[in-house]
């Protein structure tokens, strides 16, 4: 970690979360000689250390399936690549259907997933209850099982990328705030920071919940809102949840850690924009009610931790990736709600774009221009309130 800057860098990345660090690592691996990652707080201070840790590619849209299939492919060997145990637990991932209509939608989703080579399969209610005996059978109509999905430790993955990037001479500068971006003749020229001004012709906005403010520095208005998402962890319990589980019906997601903790989050309906990191009683009640509804055995379990993180959610809840026409050299890596699971692919694909000038197929649909053309990306398998879709 550094606290002194050079005068010039090839690429400046704003945001030392897993997105920024994954990109920095991949840029250095591509041979980019001078890369710096800036953050106004400590490394991983945003959503990268405050998320659900869950990993899948079994989604309902072509765009999400293609992109996250690339990401899960990298997750499979990421520990070896980074020489650091990211604790990827390939326990499987179940997208739960709680109604007949949801199960019919799952059938359609599985058919699409198989066209992309995913080894998903549709389970009926009995198969789900056999797989997870602790689940409330009244909440089960079936679901989609992705055997190679699972979860990883967010802190392990974050520090794995940070250490690997540092080994490749990436400079990581925490507590270094970006105060302005210099644009001349429609192109990025420099970045003003709390440690002084540095010259560059490429800036990547990976600032998470603060991405909107960074975009405003170049005169760009992101059509997104910042939201607070909350999670809880219980005391360690005997194993009862053998895989990662998402319940779009209750807007919740959960897994049981290797230490036995039940870890999960849930979204409230009519989610209001917020930049606060303070936990709320409303969210605690909402999560507890949903989790007990799914797993009645949790009713007397003690809550050990609760935390909140902020995300910058785009109108279609899809990430915003790639260059913008308005400002040459200004690149977006923001709008993330499922950013932890997508970081390996985003880091690799954006590094490929910056190195070659060619936008990879997997990220083309997620460009900023979709907000002008109206080609928004809707995925109905997300645990997100319908009004946010």
Instruction: List, for residues 246-298, the tens digit of each pLDDT value.
Output: 999 999 999 999 899 999 999 887 778 888 888 888 899 999 999 999 999 99
Q: pLDDT (tens digit, 9 = 90+) per residue, 112-161?
A: 999 999 999 999 999 999 999 999 999 999 999 999 999 999 999 999 99
The domain segmentation of the chain, as residue ranges, is: 11-49+155-223+316-381, 90-150+225-313
pLDDT at 208 > cutoff 80? yes
**pLDDT tens by residue, 335-373:** 999 999 999 999 999 999 999 999 999 999 999 999 999
What is the pLDDT averaged over residues 79-98? Answer: 97
The answer on pLDDT for 220 being more than 60 is yes
pLDDT exceeds 70 at position 86: yes
So what's the pLDDT on residue 273?
85
Q: What is the pLDDT of residue 302?
A: 97
The burial class, CB within 10 Å (0-12 / 13-18 / 19+), for 357 is: exposed
Cα(65)–Cα(50) distance, rounded to whole angstroms?
Answer: 24
pLDDT, the chain, mean: 95
Topology given in CATH for the domain delimited by 90-150+225-313: D-Amino Acid Oxidase; Chain A, domain 2 (3.30.9)
Packed helices 339-356 and 18-29: angle between N→C axes, nearest 10 degrees:
30
On whether the CB atoms of residues 251 and 224 are closer than 8 A, the answer is no
More confident: 234 or 281: 234
- First-residue to last-residue Cα distance in the chain: 39
Q: Specify the CATH class of 11-49+155-223+316-381 in words.
A: alpha beta
Give per-residue pLDDT as tens, 40-65. 999 999 888 888 899 999 999 999 99
Q: CA-based diameter of the chain, in Å?
A: 63
Using pLDDT thresholds of 50, 70 and 90, give the confidence band for residue 37.
very high
């Amino acid at each position: 970690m550094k606290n002194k800057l050079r005068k010039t860098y090839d690429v400046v990345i704003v945001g030392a979360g897993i997105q920024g660090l994954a990109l920095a690592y991949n840029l250095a691996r591509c041979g980019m000689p001078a890369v710096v990652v800036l953050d106004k707080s400590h490394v991983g201070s945003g959503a990268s250390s405050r998320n659900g840790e869950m990993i899948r590619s079994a989604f309902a849209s072509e765009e999400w399936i293609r992109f996250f299939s690339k990401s899960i492919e990298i997750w499979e060997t990421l520990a070896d690549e980074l020489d650091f145990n990211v604790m990827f637990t390939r326990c499987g991932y179940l997208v739960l259907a709680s109604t007949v209509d949801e199960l019919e939608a799952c059938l359609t989703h599985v058919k699409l997933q198989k066209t992309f080579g995913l080894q998903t399969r549709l389970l009926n209610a009995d198969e789900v209850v056999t797989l997870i005996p602790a689940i409330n059978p009244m909440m089960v109509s079936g679901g989609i099982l992705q055997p190679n999905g699972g979860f990883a430790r967010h802190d392990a993955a974050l520090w794995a990328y940070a250490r690997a990037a540092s080994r490749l001479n990436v400079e990581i500068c925490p507590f270094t705030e970006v105060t302005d971006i210099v644009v001349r003749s429609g192109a990025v020229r420099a970045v003003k920071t709390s440690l002084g001004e540095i010259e560059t012709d490429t800036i990547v906005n990976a600032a998470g919940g603060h991405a909107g403010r960074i975009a405003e520095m170049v005169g760009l208005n992101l059509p997104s809102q910042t939201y607070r998402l909350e999670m809880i962890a219980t005391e360690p319990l005997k194993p009862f949840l053998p895989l990662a589980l998402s319940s779009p019906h209750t807007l919740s997601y959960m897994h049981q850690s290797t230490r036995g903790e039940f870890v999960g989050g849930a979204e409230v309906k009519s989610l209001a924009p917020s930049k606060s990191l303070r936990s709320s009683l409303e969210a605690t009640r909402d999560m507890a009610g949903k989790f007990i509804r799914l797993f009645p055995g949790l009713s007397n379990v003690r809550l050990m931790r609760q935390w909140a993180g902020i995300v910058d959610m785009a109108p279609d809840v899809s990430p915003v990736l790639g260059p913008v026409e308005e400002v040459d050299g200004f690149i977006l890596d923001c709008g993330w709600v499922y950013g932890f699971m997508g970081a390996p692919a985003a880091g690799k694909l954006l590094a490929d774009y910056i190195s070659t000038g060619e936008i990879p197929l997997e990220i083309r649909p997620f460009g900023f221009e979709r907000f002008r053309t109206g080609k928004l990306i809707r995925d109905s398998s997300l645990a997100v309130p319908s009004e946010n879709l």
